[in-house]
Amino acid sequence: MATKNGRLLFNEVPTGYPIPGKTTVYDTTSTIDLDNEPLNGSILVKTLVLSVDPFLRGKMRSPEKKSYSPPFFLNEPLYSFGVGKVIRSENPSFKVGDHVYGSTLDFTEYFIPKDASKLTVIVRPAPTLPWSVYVGAAGMPGQTSYYGWKEYAKAKAGETVFVSTAAGPVGSLVVQLAKQDGLKVIASAGSDEKVQFCKDIGADVAFNYKTTNTAEVLKKEGPINIYWDNVGGPTLEAAIEHSALYARMIICGFISEYNGEENYGIKTMRNVLTNRISINGLLVWDHEAKYKDEFYRVIPQKLASGEIKYTEDVTRGLDKCGEAILEVQKGLNKGKKVIIVADD
Amino acid sequence: MATKNGRLLFNEVPTGYPIPGKTTVYDTTSTIDLDNEPLNGSILVKTLVLSVDPFLRGKMRSPEKKSYSPPFFLNEPLYSFGVGKVIRSENPSFKVGDHVYGSTLDFTEYFIPKDASKLTVIVRPAPTLPWSVYVGAAGMPGQTSYYGWKEYAKAKAGETVFVSTAAGPVGSLVVQLAKQDGLKVIASAGSDEKVQFCKDIGADVAFNYKTTNTAEVLKKEGPINIYWDNVGGPTLEAAIEHSALYARMIICGFISEYNGEENYGIKTMRNVLTNRISINGLLVWDHEAKYKDEFYRVIPQKLASGEIKYTEDVTRGLDKCGEAILEVQKGLNKGKKVIIVADD
């Protein structure tokens, strides 16, 4: 019996923000026979959760442009992190009912992976932990925070860290890791609600960068020993200006220039010399081998117990995904953005 | 008998370039009795060599302005690296005829150090090595290159390094260390004569940045795995733009902004994320404990034997020192600038 298999297709390379219905199109013309579709030794997965992250914008480009992650293919579904449930299996590594996690789940309601070995069976420490957290604090964003903090922060108790987009899935874990290490945390976010969340998770100073001048806060509350950068631009410039001697800066995102904005000229780079700053670009995969096992041993348990807090901003339905992508690019989401494609 | 003791005094905080006779003044009103001046347990040193380096400009500031090195005092002699000869001694660690090296030699013809323990007795591996080299390739500039290269370059044979101000005392040793490690070296300098020197010491590609576009050279000859930055500004911007994945950048100088120039806005910082670049500010003293002994064991010998080459641009007479300082700020010197205050 043919079942509709909704798909979010990459339709057009955007010049600025990704526009729902133009950059991406939700397509319902495809169908799948859930009982009889040939698996050829693979598995059939029902998509439960898909992740919407800032970096998706970087993949919406012409194939000629090089970047750290390959581009999406036009007229094909987007793909990214997600969790699914195995509903048929011809692969002995997976049984029906298993939950699987992967980084290249098609943005479709159902899929048959070409290479099922890229999927990992996940078992949660407690049912209190929703599967969606495995694309957030217990997934790639959480790993980004954890790996980057362990590798580059060189945190010492009593130091001061500044975290931008601190209410986001990456930033909010950084805030909590920093507090665990005994640091003073300055957090910036883009709404008063997010600022409140930063305070709830322990930030000593939290401010709305849209209504408060970042440089003034850093001047007053700094100098900063560590800067966790998710935005680039003037915020990075101010962080460099108000850095302490031997400051460490982790450039984890640069969302201020993801959507065709003119590149901002950072005028404080001489301070890198004066203060002997160390700046490092971070991509989570570079550190996977070193920290992955430790991460899964430590973090999901703390999320399930509530020792580490997270927020999610849930959208139900793959048909709403285009709007969710735009929301994240504009910073309008309230916590880690996830799409619930189907219930467990 | 009173002997004239010429002194170069810090006379006025400059706003732009340091002007001889205005920023600094050569004073001949002071005298010293070489035979009878009380030593109070110290030594009397005849200054042989003084070093003129770009960083002196940073010390010509108001005391309120913080930086990595303390400011000069107005109406007092400048001080910096130099070599002198002990002509009287009441300190058992020094005997008459010893050559001493230090980082805070007064810019005077004779001096009695308040704290002689800051001076090191130096013995050269061969008389073919002039004492002046101990303020250049065998001194602080050479140590800067050596320490920075060992600590941050993570050089691998076959990689490409770009060195700015490559004919200078720091850059020229970096070029040679890179060649010893099997790298392709791109070198920039500010005159055709300096470019020729870069080629003479092994640079694979050398160009005059005043007549050739740096970004175009890097585009053609890069991408670069390592950038040794002595200048900052648009050169740093171009290096970041044409960097390879996992590039390492060592910010050792920022001479493009030492003389009151407006800070340049660097527009390519997003590449730090894309290519996971590591940028580190370098100050030689931070790495002294780790690398100093190794440096003195390895480098002076290679300089004496000619295995490592160096150039000097010699000015004779402390009275000409103001002009020499300006020359270095403008990049008009032809090799490491030294003042020969007196012959050995």
Q: Judge: A67–B257 Cβ closer than 8 Å, yes or no.
A: no
Compute the distance between CA of residue A226 and CA of residue A239 in angstroms, rounded to an integer.
9
Residues from chain B that touch A55, judged by Cβ atoms under 8 A, are none
Nearest CA in chain B to A229: B273
Q: B100: which strand partners?
A: B84, B121
Please judge whether B266 and A270 are an interchain contact, meaning their C-beta atoms are less than 8 angstroms apart. no
Distance CA B207, CA B226 (A): 17
CA separation for the pair B203, B200 (Å, rounded) = 7
CA distance A150 to A289: 13
User: CA nearest B240: which of B219, B211, B213?
Assistant: B219
- Cα–Cα distance between A320 and A340 in angstroms, integer? 10
Q: How far apart are the first and last CA of chain B?
A: 21
**Which residue shows structure tokens 């070995």?**
A117
Contact A282/B at CB under 8 A: yes
Question: How far is B243 from B272, CA to CA, in rounded Å?
Answer: 9
In a 13 Å sphere around the CA of A132, the CA atoms on its Cβ side amount to 22
Q: Which of A152, A273, A285 to mutate to test the interface with B (most CBs of B within 10 A)?
A: A273
Task: Give the pLDDT band (50/70/90) at residue B277.
Answer: very high
A277 and B273 in contact by Cβ < 8 A? no
Which of A189, A340, A184, A172 is CA-nearest to residue A255? Answer: A189
Q: Give the residue-averaged pLDDT of B244-258.
A: 92
Among B342, B318, B320, residue whose Cα is nearest residue B6: B318
Note the pLDDT of residue B155. 98
Predicted confidence at residue A259, as pLDDT, reads 76
**B267 contacts in chain A (CB < 8 Å):** 263-266
Alpha carbon of B122: minimum distance to chain A alpha carbons (Å): 30
Q: Are A208 and A186 in contact (CB under 8 A)?
A: no
pLDDT score recorded for residue A117: 93
* Average per-residue pLDDT for chain B: 95
The beta-carbon neighbor of A281 closest among B232, B272, B281 is B272
* Angle of helix B140-148 versus helix B288-305 axis, rounded to 10: 110
Q: How would residue B202 be classed by pLDDT, with cut points 50, 70 and 90? A: very high
Place of tokens 């380096």: B53
What are the CA-CA distances from residue B101 to residues A146, A219, A263 (Å)? Answer: 48, 40, 48
DSSP three-state, residue A306 = coil
Tell me, what's the pLDDT at B344? 86
> Rounded CA gap, B21 and B11, in Å?
8
Dist. CA A179–CA B268, nearest whole Å:
32
- Sole residue written with tokens 């004239």: B4
Residue written as token pair 């929301």: A327
- Residues of chain A contacting B252 with CB distance shorter than 8 Å: 273
- A69 in contact with B, Cβ within 8 Å: no
CA distance B343 to chain A (A): 36
Picking from B253, B267, B278, the nearest residue to A263 by CB comes out as B267
Residues 117-136 of B with CB under 8 A from A: none
Q: For residue A57, which residues of chain B lie inside 8 Å, CB to CB?
A: none
At B260 the pLDDT is 77
CB atoms within 10 A of CB B88: 18
Closest among B167, B157, B228 to B193, alpha carbons compared: B167
Q: Is the Cβ–Cβ distance between B321 and B10 less than 8 Å?
A: no
pLDDT at B67 > cutoff 80: no
- Mutation for A interface: B255, B264, B270, B283, most A CBs within 10 A: B270
User: Nearest-5° angle of CA B69, CA B131, CA B95?
Assistant: 90
- SS3 per residue for A256-302: HHCCCCCCCCECCCHHHHHCCCEEEECCHHHHHHHHHHHHHHHHHHH
What is the Cα–Cα distance from A7 to B150, expressed in whole angstroms? Answer: 53
- Tokens for A151, please give them: 């590798």
pLDDT band at B258 (very low <50, low <70, confident <90, very high): confident
Residue burial A224-263, b: 16+ Cβ < 10 Å; e: rest = bbbbbbbbbbbbbbbbbbbbeeebbbbbbbbbbbbbeeeb
Tokens of A169: 């899935």
Residues of chain A neighbouring B259 (CB-CB closer than 8 A): none
B183-207 residues labelled b (16+ CB within 10 A) or e (exposed): bbbbbbbbbeebbebbeebbbbbbb
Q: Mean of the pLDDT values across residues B265-270?
A: 96
Nearest-10 crossing angle of helices B140-148, B169-180: 40
Q: What is the mean pLDDT of residues B254-280?
A: 91
Residue B106: phi and psi, rounded to 5, are -65, 145
Please say if the pLDDT value at position B132 is more than 90.
yes
Q: Indicate the DSSP class of residue A41.
A: T
CA distances for A229 relative to A255, A333, B220, B320, angstroms: 10, 19, 31, 48
Cα–Cα distance between B140 and B56 in angstroms, integer?
A: 13
Give buried/exposed letters for A278-308 (b at 16+ CB in 10 A, else e). bbbbbbbebbeeebeeebbeebbbbbbeeeb
pLDDT > 80? residue B88: yes
Residue B266 in contact with partner chain A when CB distance is under 8 A: yes
| pLDDT of residue B289 exceeding 80 | yes
Candidates B17, B11, B4, B6; CA nearest to B324 is B17
Name which of A42, A137, A47 is nearest A83 in CA terms.
A47
The pairs formed by A208-213 with CB atoms below 8 angstroms and a separation of 24 or more are A209/A164, A209/A235
Task: Flag if A265 and B270 touch (Cβ within 8 Å).
Answer: no
State whether B276 and A277 contact (CB < 8 Å).
Answer: no
| Rounded Cα gap, residues B52 and A1, in angstroms | 85
Q: Do A264 and B265 touch (CB under 8 A)?
A: yes
User: Looking at CA atoms only, how far is residue A152 from chain B in angstroms?
Assistant: 10
Q: What is the pLDDT of residue A338?
A: 97
ipTM of the complex: 0.85
Whether residues B276 and A282 touch (CB distance < 8 A) is answered with yes
Q: pLDDT tier at B33 (50, 70, 90 boundaries)?
A: very high
**pLDDT tens by residue, chain A, 344 residues:** 899 999 999 999 999 999 999 999 999 999 999 999 999 999 999 999 999 998 899 999 998 887 768 999 999 999 999 999 999 999 999 999 999 999 999 999 999 999 999 999 999 998 889 999 999 999 999 999 999 999 999 999 999 999 999 998 899 999 999 999 999 999 999 999 999 999 999 999 999 999 999 999 999 999 999 999 999 999 999 999 999 999 999 999 988 887 778 899 999 999 999 999 999 999 999 999 999 999 999 999 999 999 999 999 999 999 999 999 999 999 888 889 999 999 98
DSSP class per residue in B277-326 = -EEEE--GGGGHHHHHHHHHHHHHHHHHHTSS---EEEEE-GGGHHHHHH
The C-alpha of A46 sits at a distance from chain B's nearest C-alpha, in angstroms, of: 33
Question: Coil, helix or strand for B142?
Answer: helix
Nearest partner of A149 among A226, A223, A81, A221, judged by Cα: A226
Alpha-carbon distance A287 to A88, whole Å? 33
Residues of A in contact with B282 (CB under 8 A): 273, 276
CA distance A172 to A167: 5
Domains of chain B (ranges plus CATH)? 2-131+311-340 (3.90.180.10), 140-285 (3.40.50.720)
* C-beta atoms of A276 and B282 within 8 A: yes
Chain B environment of A154 (Cβ under 8 Å): none
The answer to whether the CB atoms of B281 and A281 lie below 8 A apart is no
Nearest to A272 among B265, B267, B281 (CB): B281
Q: Mean pLDDT over residues B175-201, rounded?
A: 96
Q: Identify residue B7 by its one-letter amino acid code.
A: R
**Residue B46 region, left (φ>0) first, then alpha (ψ -120 to 50), else beta?**
beta
Nearest to B222 by CA among B244, B202, B189, B246: B244
